[in-house]
Structure 1
């Protein structure tokens, strides 16, 4: 059986790692490299670095940060999100050391570029990010740049169903940072039930996580804020979830959460 994954998420704004609450309020944590290094040591199956202020400014990806991360010598696969405006940006992100990348704004702006990235890098390297909300019995898709909601377009659903991307990153943006807040309807009522889903946003309770992992289309859970509250949180979550579907916890206990060795 293919094991499911626990992804550690590091959110970056203005060059600093932050705790995010609904992508509206933020608390600083320190240098992102410190959190990334500790997630690598403590058994996260993948690390997602999401730089949330790049696309809003129409800025390129944070290549300086990627270069700095590359010097850490990570053993954990790295996913990058933020500021990918075109095919050239996406290819450069991979050249700078990311194993996979996340597209969000491109799903609104240029689906042809998403297709071309998939052709150049392979679908396995591409993850589609869908910030979603459950409103009045239906799923709404959020564009954080314009602060507007809409239904997921048929064109986006089409490229997902055709396998242009490998996985869908469903972010419950309104409950992000809220303990036990993830809205399970976003998974159970997602219009494509046969595509691999990464669930993110308000995941804090092991029972909640275990139930999500039992969903056949959920291949990973992603946790941000709640991995920052306790040392060695990644492996402690894995132990508490106690799911045969999840990779075993592996960690190095000799380092603190926010400082280098």
Structure 2
């Protein structure tokens, strides 16, 4: 079994890290370059950098911020936001990204996933899925444009399709749990993890140290991503890892 990963997430808007609840009410959380360097020192396994307003504003991810961030860290670095062409992926990888995260653009143009996987390898392509429970369906629906637009697409179907297209990993965010600190969406994460054969990163809802153990043990997540609790020093990455080790979970 692969060791479980703990991944801080930098949601970046206008060059600053922000965090909200259920994708709204954003508040400032600091400078992305400084936070990235701190998390590298503190033992993060990877880092995710999401330019959360790029797709909405129709512009490319901030290359300069990516370059500066990559220059401060040694851990794998996933960058997403505003990526609509393979050329965008090339620019970000040259700027220092290790993996490319695509969400809205993958829904609009599914060949972007397969083209990116062919060009750079599946291990480089992370399909991000923002999902919200649809009570009429009794299952989860995919949203795009930073959680602003519903798609009518079922999350489990899209997860399976993304894998077939060549995604090497899924970054699964529960919009219902996001920023609530009530725990990861175990049902959603388990449903997706059981539907695909590629790693699933659980995102949204971490608030207590036991939430990490729950999502690994009950939902079979391969990695857990968090923002608020790390940005505002409510707990450290090492504290999370130590708790997991005590509970028999293999971590790096």
Match of 1:229 in 2: 232
Structure 2 length-normalised TM: 0.90
Q: Any gaps of 5 or more consecutive residues in structure 2?
A: none
Over 3 Å counting, the alpha-carbon distance change for 1:216 and 1:226 in structure 2 is closer
SS at match of 1:212: helix
The answer (yes or no) to whether the contact 2:5–2:251 under 8 Å persists in 1 is: yes
In 2, the alpha carbon distance for the partners of 1:8 and 1:157 equals: 22
In 2, the alpha carbon distance for the partners of 1:156 and 1:180 equals: 26
Over 3 Å counting, the alpha-carbon distance change for 1:53 and 1:177 in structure 2 is same
Match of 2:30 in 1: 30
CA apart distance, 1:189? 2.4
CA apart distance, 1:110? 0.7
Q: Which has the higher contact order (CA 8 A, sep 6+)?
A: 1
Deviations 1:8-38, CA, capped at 9 Å, x for gaps: 1111111111122222111112211111110
Match of 1:252 in 2: none
Deviations 1:110-136, CA, capped at 9 Å, x for gaps: 111221111000000011101011232
CA apart distance, 1:154? 8.8
Match of 1:19 in 2: 19
Over 3 Å counting, the alpha-carbon distance change for 1:246 and 1:224 in structure 2 is farther
Structure 1 length-normalised TM: 0.87
CA apart distance, 1:218? 1.5
Aligned residues: 247
RMSD, aligned α-carbons = 2.1
CA apart distance, 1:155? 7.7
Match of 1:140 in 2: 141
Q: Any gaps of 5 or more consecutive residues in structure 1?
A: 249-261
The answer (yes or no) to whether the contact 1:23–1:173 under 8 Å persists in 2 is: yes
Match of 1:121 in 2: 120
In 2, the alpha carbon distance for the partners of 1:232 and 1:207 equals: 12
The answer (yes or no) to whether the contact 1:11–1:20 under 8 Å persists in 2 is: no
In 2, the alpha carbon distance for the partners of 1:172 and 1:22 equals: 9
CA apart distance, 1:210? 0.7
Match of 2:57 in 1: 57
Alignment partner of 2:179 out of 174, 177, 180: 177
CA apart distance, 1:70? 3.0
Alignment partner of 2:169 out of 162, 167, 178: 167
Deviations 1:218-252, CA, capped at 9 Å, x for gaps: 1100011111222771111112233443424xxxx
